[in-house]
Amino acid sequence: MGMLKYQRGKVPLSIIAISVCALAFVVLLYTERISPLSSGSIFRFTFCSAKRHAAKLKKSRDEYIKPISYADDDRFEFDPEECSLAHGKWVFNRSVKPLYSDSTCPYVDRQFSCVKNGRLDFDYRHWQWQPDDCMLPRFDPQIALKKIQGKRLMFVGDSLQRGQWESFVCLVESMIPQHQKSMKRGHMHSVFKAKEYNATIEFYWAPFLVESNSDVHIIVDPKKRILKVDSVANHAKHWTGVDILVFNTYVWWTSSLNIKSLWGSFANGEEGYEELDAHVSYRIGLKTWANWVDSNINPNKTRVFFTTMSPTHQRSADWGKMNGTKCFNETKPITKKRHWGTGSDKRMMSAVAGVVERMKVPVTVINITQLSEYRIDAHSSIYTEMGGNLLTDEEKADPLHYADCIHWCLPGVPDTWNQIFYAHL
């Protein structure tokens, strides 16, 4: 995925260096494997009851924070009207183990299987997000399965959304007997079936939500991509009849400052495009998606969610490490309150807020951006694959060009996204 943003660092870069880094970032886009094999808060959504204030926390010698007890807090009914998720901190809790690993869950792509790919530090799996004035309820796989019983749940979007889908599947699949579950991977559409619950957990590949000439066969050069910003029809026919829809789209829009945008019917076909500023094209695309939702979704039958942008951490100067190499070798979250790096675009965040608030059909926004901004330690980094192959030792030794600071290890940060999603179900 490309992420061409103006650099605001204090250290000037040569044109050659900028070109090399940009090329490396674009290369990451094409690790978006869709094959069957494999700042302050702009959204002020609230989540937890004010009755559940966390106990005072103390730092230990190694600067980790003393684990929190959930025992009392789980007794209170979850209240999404009294707590903001965007304001909080990551709390280290070694006593809480992930509900799965990339070894125990067979559905984690190699792209996200950091431990299997050689990562030796495991602390990134033991951080929990704690909002300032409440606690999120723990993810209970059995309750989650009961909430989707008899339903179709579909995640729609790019590879970040695919990571969230795989996370959700892995969080619940161990509760289902082997003969009562199945997975069918497709080029665009993949389906996990929980037969015992008569439920499906699905993923549909649509990185822009609207249609493009790069949906099926990925076009390497962003300048050759053309988006039909007024059409979702080819994608949306797969969304009808779904009970719970979870959308996302962001990082693919950032691969170029301008996007070739096509709408209406032109005699000269794709040559009728117009190059628009990426922010303008993004807003038009979101409006097209919103119009489809408003025109086709019955809110009494279908719930709609939208996951906000997942931050990228390509520039270590953003968190004060002038001599760092992107997210490589980072082992702890950023602790500076309200940190916001160049990998998250506030204008696009505002576009989502503006479009969603005008929609007729209620859309629940899963606001993951600020809490994910802190997690420079949890990306796939060099423990990933590129072009279907694991990185070689030579490539691992060159993190400037090969470290993936876009995608996340599983288990990891996407599990927290699903904890938030679960709290709304």
> What DSSP assignment string belongs to 360-398?
SS-EEEE--HHHHHT-TTSEEETSSEETTEEPPHHHHT-
At residue 134, the 3 state secondary structure works out as coil
**Mean pLDDT, all residues of the chain:** 85
Res. 263 pLDDT band, cuts 50 70 90: confident
Res. 1 pLDDT band, cuts 50 70 90: very low
Residue 27 has pLDDT above 50, yes or no: no
Q: Among the listed ranges 18-22, 178-182, 229-233, 296-300, which one has the minimum average pLDDT value?
A: 18-22
* For range 407-413, the mean pLDDT: 98
pLDDT of residue 78: 53
Residue 203 has pLDDT above 90, yes or no: yes
279, HSE (Cβ side, Cα atoms, 13 Å):
10
- Give the ranges where 221-277 is alpha helix by DSSP (H): 233-236
Residue 48 has pLDDT above 60, yes or no: no
* For range 265-270, the mean pLDDT: 59
Q: What element of type H or E holds 192? A: strand 189-194
Find all residues with CB under 8 Å of 31, minimum gap 6, and list them.
Answer: 111, 159, 384, 385, 386, 387, 404, 407
What is the SS3 string spanning 321-354? CCCCCCCCCCCCCCCCCCCCCCCCCHHHHHHHHH
Q: Among the listed ranges 109-118, 266-275, 315-324, which one has the minimum average pLDDT value?
A: 266-275
Q: Counting runs of H as helices and runs of E as strands, what totals does the chain give?
A: 10, 17
Residue 80 has pLDDT above 90, yes or no: no
Residue 234 has pLDDT above 70, yes or no: yes
Q: 174-209 burial by CB neighbour count: b if 16+ within 10 A, else e?
A: ebbeeeebeeebeeebbbbbbeebebbbbbbbbbbb
Measured in degrees and rounded to the nearest 5, phi and psi for residue 204 equal -125, 125
In the annotation, is 407 catalytic? yes
Residue 55 has pLDDT above 90, yes or no: no
Residue 23 has pLDDT above 70, yes or no: no
Q: Whole-angstrom Cα distance, residue 266 to residue 405?
A: 39
Residue 19 has pLDDT above 90, yes or no: no
217, HSE (Cβ side, Cα atoms, 13 Å):
1
Q: Whole-angstrom Cα distance, residue 25 to residue 12?
A: 19
pLDDT of residue 84: 78
Q: Among the listed ranges 61-65, 193-197, 232-236, which one has the minimum average pLDDT value?
A: 61-65
Q: Whole-angstrom Cα distance, residue 50 to residue 147?
A: 25
Among 159, 231, 255, 316, the active-site one is 159
Q: Among the listed ranges 16-30, 221-235, 313-327, which one has the minimum average pLDDT value?
A: 16-30
* For range 108-129, the mean pLDDT: 96
> Residue 41 CA to chain centroid, in angstroms?
17
pLDDT of residue 86: 79
Res. 136 pLDDT band, cuts 50 70 90: confident
Token pair belonging to 328: 């490589």
Nearest alpha carbon to residue 208 among 222, 192, 190, 193 = 222
Other Cβ atoms less than 10 A from the Cβ of 325: the count is 17
Q: Among the listed ranges 44-48, 170-174, 318-322, 348-352, which one has the minimum average pLDDT value?
A: 44-48
* For range 141-150, the mean pLDDT: 98
Q: Are 325 and 18 in contact (CB under 8 A)?
A: no
pLDDT of residue 268: 58
Res. 324 pLDDT band, cuts 50 70 90: confident
Residue 36 has pLDDT above 50, yes or no: no
Res. 225 pLDDT band, cuts 50 70 90: very high
* For range 326-338, the mean pLDDT: 96
Q: Among the listed ranges 107-111, 156-160, 220-224, which one has the minimum average pLDDT value?
A: 220-224
Residue 101 has pLDDT above 60, yes or no: yes
pLDDT of residue 366: 93
pLDDT of residue 95: 93
Measured in degrees and rounded to the nearest 5, phi and psi for residue 91 equal -110, 130
Q: Which has more pLDDT, 29 or 333? A: 333
Residue 408 has pLDDT above 50, yes or no: yes
Res. 267 pLDDT band, cuts 50 70 90: low
pLDDT of residue 132: 86
Q: Which has more pLDDT, 268 or 309? A: 309
pLDDT of residue 81: 73
In the annotation, is 159 catalytic? yes
Q: What element of type H or E holds 284? A: helix 278-296
Residue 37 has pLDDT above 60, yes or no: no
